[in-house]
Amino acid sequence: MATYDLVILGAGSGGYAAALRGSQLGLKVALIERDVLGGTCLHRGCIPTKALLHAGEIADSVRESAVFGVKSNLLGIDMPQVNDYKDGVVNRLYKGLQGLVKHRGVDYVTGNGKFVGPNKVMVGDQVFEGKHVVLATGSFPKSLPNLEVDGNQVINSEHALKLSKVPASVIILGGGVIGVEFASVWKSLGAEVTIIEGLPRLVPAEDEAVSKAMERAFRKRGINFSTGVRFAGVDKTKHGVVAKLEDGQTFAADLMLVAVGRGSATRNQGFEETGLEFDGELIKVNENLQTNLANVYAVGDIVRGPQLAHKGFQEGIFVAEHIKGLNPRVIDVTAIPRVVYSEPEVASVGLNESAAKEKYGADQLRTVQYDLAGNGKSQILRTAGFIKLIALKNGGQIVGIHMIGSRVGELLAEAQLMYSWDASPEDVAPYIHAHPTMSEAMGEAAMALSGKPLHTHD
C-alpha cells in the first residue's frame, strides 16, 4: 500500500490544480487518472473548441475582408488542416502539463480508480492511502431519455470535435454555452445551423438583455433558432436527421448535436458505498469543499456552481491550501467569471438583473447599458453590443456586469475585480481607460452610472 498526504481521483482542471498546489506546499501527492492528464477542458472542452472558434473567426475575416478594403477569396475550409491546428494546440499544452506534473514531483498514476474508504482509492489491486482525498472525477455529455447518441447522425460535443468535414447542415439541441459555441463555429465554417432551445431564450442563464442581443446577432449571421418549444424526438433518415418539436414543427439536417448539459461523473466510483452524501447527482460539500466524510474533499464539475475549468482550478488550489492549514479565502460562486466564446462573445460576473431585483429589490438598483456603438475600438472592429452595469443606489457597489460583443471576454478581468472588490461606479469612474480600447466602454458605463456620462446621449 502506498501512503500519501493527498490522493486525488481525476486529473482534470480541479484534480491537477490540487496536485500542483499541494506539491508546491510540500505535500506528497498521488494523482490518479484513467484517461488523459488535463481532463475535459484540455482535451475535449475549452481548448479544442476555442481553437475551432478561432479558425471560424479567420474564415469570417476572409469573407468580410472587402468591407475593410482588403480583397480576398475564401477558397474553402480544409477540415483536416483545421483539426491539425486544433490538435497541435492541445498537444503542446498537454506536453507542458505533463512536464509540470513531473517537475513538481507528483506521483501520476494511470488507471481506473475506485474510492473504497474515507481515505483510500484502489487502482486495480493497488491501494493508495491518503491523509486526505480529493475527488475530482468531472463530468460527461448528457442526453435526454430515449434520445440515443450514436456518434454518427446524433452526436455529442466529443464527436463534434473529431468531425473530419464540416457538415452541410446541422441541428443543435440546446442553446446554452456549448450549443451556441458550436453554432458559431459551424456557421463560420460554412454550415447551415439551426438551434433548438426549449426555454424561452438562447443562453438562458445570462441576463435577458444579453440573450436578446445574442438572438439579434445570430439572426444577422443567418443562424436559425427556435426557442420556447420543447424537443419531441428525432428521426434518422437515409440522408440525415429530422428533429421534431412538440408543436409539430420539424427541422431536417445532416446531423444533430446534443448539447443539453453535462452529467456529473459520480456514479460507479464507489461514492455511494462509502456513505458520501449527495446533493442530487452532485457531491454535497460545505464552503470549504469538504464532504461529509472526514478529510475527503470534492472539487470541479461534481460539486455545486458553474461547470467551468477556472472554477475547478480555484477549487483545487483552495483545497490544497485548506489541507495545509493556510486558511484560504472561501470561493464566492457569484464572483466566478463566465464567458461564452461565440461570435459575438458574452461575458458576465455577478447577478443578472432579475436575480439582482430578487435579492435587493428593484427600487434599490441603478442600471446602465452602454452601447458599443459609442466606443471607438468597437467601431473599428465593426462589432455591436453593450456593457450593462447593475449597481446599488446611493453610491452602492456594482452587483452585476454583463457584456456582449466581439472580444468582450477580454474585458472580464476588470469586471471581476470591480465586482469582487465591491467597487461602486463612483470608485471606477475616475480611473482612466486607454483610448481607443474596448475597455473604455467599461469606464464609460461607470461614468454614466455615476452621473457624468461622456460619450452618451442622455
Report the distance separating Cα 378 and Cα 121, nearest Å.
Answer: 52
Cα gap 141→128, rounded to integer Å? 29
Q: How far is the CB of 235 from ligand FAD (least distance, A)?
A: 26
**Could you give the string, one character per residue 88-127, with x where binding to ligand FAD holds by CB under 6 A and - elsewhere?**
------------------------xx--------------
> How far is Cα 113 from Cα 445, in angstroms, rounded to an integer?
50
Of positions 178, 223, 258, 372, contacts ligand FAD by CB under 6 A: 178
Binding of ligand FAD at residue 307 (CB under 6 A)? yes
From 32-40, 67-75, 212-220, 281-289, span contacting ligand FAD (CB under 6 A)? 32-40
Chosen residue from 6, 13, 20, 370 binding ligand FAD by CB under 6 A: 13
Q: Judged by CB, which is closer to ligand FAD: 45, or 453?
A: 45
**Is 156 one of the binding residues for ligand FAD (CB under 6 A)?**
no
Shortest gap between Cβ of 69 and ligand FAD (angstroms)? 33
CA distance 134 to 34: 15
| Per CB under 6 A, 11 contacts ligand FAD | yes
Establish if 142 lies at the interface with ligand FAD (CB under 6 A): no
Grid cell at residue 79: 477540415
Start-to-end Cα distance in the chain: 71
Which listed residue (312, 374, 400, 443) binds ligand FAD by CB under 6 A?
A: 312
Closest CA to 456 of 395, 375, 367: 375
65 binds ligand FAD (CB under 6 A): no
CB neighbour list of residue 95: distance below 8 Å, 6 or more residues apart: none
CA angle 425–431–432, rounded 5-degree value: 130
310 touches ligand FAD by CB under 6 A: yes
Gap between the Cα atoms of 271 and 424, Å rounded: 44
Nearest approach in angstroms of CB 35 to ligand FAD is: 4
In 3D space, the residue among 291, 309, 293 whose CA is nearest the CA of residue 301 turns out to be: 309
Closer residue to ligand FAD (CB): 350 or 409:
409
Classify burial at 74, counting beta carbons within 10 Å of its beta carbon; exposed 0-12, middle 13-18, buried 19 or more: middle
Report if residue 308 touches ligand FAD, rule: CB under 6 A. Answer: yes
Query: Which residue in the set 10, 56, 174, 400 belongs to the binding site for ligand FAD (CB under 6 A)?
Result: 10
Residue number, 52 or 442, with CB nearest to ligand FAD: 52
Residue from the set 32, 149, 283, 346 that interacts with ligand FAD by CB under 6 A: 32
Q: Of residues 8, 19, 31, 39, which one binds ligand FAD by CB under 6 A?
A: 39
List the catalytic residues: 435
Find out whether 11 and 31 touch, Cβ atoms under 8 Å.
Answer: yes
* Coil/strand/helix, residue 171: strand
Min dist. Cβ of residue 176 to ligand FAD (A): 11
Stretch that binds ligand FAD, among 133-141, 322-330, 343-351, 422-430 (CB under 6 A): 133-141
Closer residue to ligand FAD, CB minimum distance, 74 or 331: 331
Contact by Cβ (8 Å): 446, 433? no
Question: Measured from the CB atom, is 46 or 245 closer to ligand FAD?
Answer: 46
- Binding range to ligand FAD, per CB under 6 A, among 36-44, 93-101, 395-403, 419-427: 36-44
Which residues from 372-431 bind ligand FAD, rule CB under 6 A?
none
Q: Which residues of 199-238 are buried (b: 16+ CB within 10 A; e: fewer)?
A: eebbbeebbebbbebbbebbeebebbbbbeeebeebeeee
Separation in Å, CA 363 to CA 34, 173, 235, 390, 399:
53, 38, 50, 12, 14
15 interacts with ligand FAD by CB under 6 A: yes
Distances (CA, A) of 235 to 154, 171, 370: 10, 12, 45
Beta bridge partners of 338: 348
Give the 3-state secondary structure of residue 192: strand
Q: How far is CA 228 from CA 144, 220, 248, 325, in A?
A: 17, 20, 13, 49
Q: How many residues bind ligand FAD (CB under 6 A)?
A: 36
Instruction: Give the binding range for ligand FAD (CB under 6 A) out of 231-239, 301-309, 398-406, 426-434.
Output: 301-309
Query: Whole-angstrom Cα distance, residue 192 to residue 186?
Result: 8
Contact status: 9 vs ligand FAD (CB under 6 A): yes
**Positions in 247-276 near ligand FAD (CB under 6 A):** 265, 269
**Binding track over 338-367 against ligand FAD, x by CB under 6 A:** ---x--------------------------
Instruction: Please choose, out of 10-18, 277-285, 385-393, 397-405, the segment that lies near ligand FAD by the rule CB under 6 A.
Output: 10-18
Q: What residues make contact with ligand FAD under the rule CB under 6 A?
A: 9-15, 32-35, 39-41, 44-46, 49, 112-113, 136-139, 157, 178, 265, 269, 300-301, 307-310, 312, 341
